[in-house]
Amino acid sequence: MARHLVTSALPYINGIKHLGNMVGSMLPADVYSRYLRQRGHDVLYICATDEHGTPAELAAQEAGLPVDQFCTQAHDAQRAVYDGFELAFDYFGRSSSQQNMEITQHFARKLNENGFIEERAIRQVYSPADGRFLPDRYVEGTCPHCGYDKARGDQCENCTRVLDPTDLIGPRSAISGSTELEVRETKHLFLLQSKLQHEVEEWIDAVSAEWPQLSSSIARKWLTEGLHDRAITRDLDWGVPVPADTWPELAAEGKVFYVWFDAPIEYIGATKEWADVAPDGESRDWKSWWYEADDDVRYTQFMAKDNVPFHTVMFPATELGLREPWKKVDFVKGFNWLTYYGGKFSTSQKRGVFTDAALEVLPGDYWRYFLIASAPESDDSSFTWEHFTATVNKDLADTLGNFVNRVLSFSRKRFGDEVPAGHAAGEAEAKLGEEIARLLAEYEEQMEALQFRKAAAALRALWSAGNSYLEEKAPWLEIKTDPDAAALTLRTAMNLIHLYAIVSEPLIPASAAAMRGAFALAGDTATWVTSEQVKALDIVPAGTAFTVPPVLFLKITEEDLESYRARFGGAGNA
pLDDT at 349 over 70: no
Work out the percent of the chain whose per-residue pLDDT is above 90: 86
162 close to 153: Cβ distance less than 8 angstroms: no
Q: Do 235 and 187 contact (CB within 8 A), yes or no?
A: no
pLDDT at 574: 45
CB atoms within 10 A of CB 472: 11
Asked whether the predicted pLDDT for residue 348 surpasses 70, the reply is: no
How many angstroms separate the CA atoms of 551 and 366, rounded? 13
Give the strand pairing for 297-304 and 331-335.
parallel
> At the topology level of CATH, where does 3-104+259-382 sit?
Rossmann fold (3.40.50)
CATH class of 117-256: mainly beta
Looking at residue 81, the DSSP 8-state letter turns out to be: H
Query: Among candidates 300, 459, 301, which has minimal Cα distance to 369?
Result: 459
pLDDT category, 62, cuts 50, 70, 90? confident
Instruction: Express each pLDDT in 96-105 by its tens digit.
Output: 999 999 999 9
The residues, ordered by sequence, that sit 6+ positions from 342 with a Cβ below 8 Å of its Cβ are 382, 571, 574
Query: CA-to-CA distance for 207 and 311, rounded, in angstroms?
Result: 13
Residue 146, annotated as binding a ligand? yes
47 annotated ligand-binding residue: no
Question: Is 156 labelled a binding residue?
Answer: yes
Give the per-residue pLDDT at 529: 95
Task: Note the pLDDT of residue 560.
Answer: 96
Superfamily name with CATH number, domain 392-536: Isoleucyl-tRNA Synthetase; Domain 1 (1.10.730.10)
**Span 531-559, mean pLDDT?**
96
**Residue 353 and residue 183: Cα distance in Å, rounded?**
39
Q: Is the pLDDT of residue 292 over 70?
A: yes
More confident residue, 2 or 176: 176
Predicted pLDDT at 350: 64
Q: Is the pLDDT of residue 347 over 70?
A: no
Mean pLDDT over each residue of the chain, to the nearest integer: 94
pLDDT tens digits, one per residue of 206-246: 999 999 999 999 999 999 999 999 999 988 889 999 999 99
- The pLDDT, as a whole number, for residue 131 is 86
- Residues 254, 235 contacting (CB under 8 angstroms): yes
Query: Residue 482: pLDDT band by 50, 70, 90 thresholds?
Result: very high
Report whether pLDDT(572) > 60. Answer: no
List helix spans (H) across 313-383. Answer: 315-322, 355-361, 364-373
pLDDT, residue 478, reads 97
**Of the candidates 120, 266, 268, 101, the residue with the CA atom closest to the CA atom of residue 192:** 120
Backbone torsion region of residue 370, taken as left when φ is above 0, otherwise alpha when ψ lies between -120 and 50, otherwise beta: alpha
Residue extents of the structural domains in the chain: 3-104+259-382, 117-256, 392-536
State the virtual CA torsion across 471, 473, 474, 476 in degrees, nearest 10. -150
pTM, two decimals, is 0.92
* pLDDT tens by residue, 105-151: 999 999 999 999 999 998 888 999 988 888 787 899 999 999 999 99
Judge whether 71 is annotated as a binding position: no
Task: Give the residue from 277, 219, 304 showing the smallest Cα distance to 8.
Answer: 304
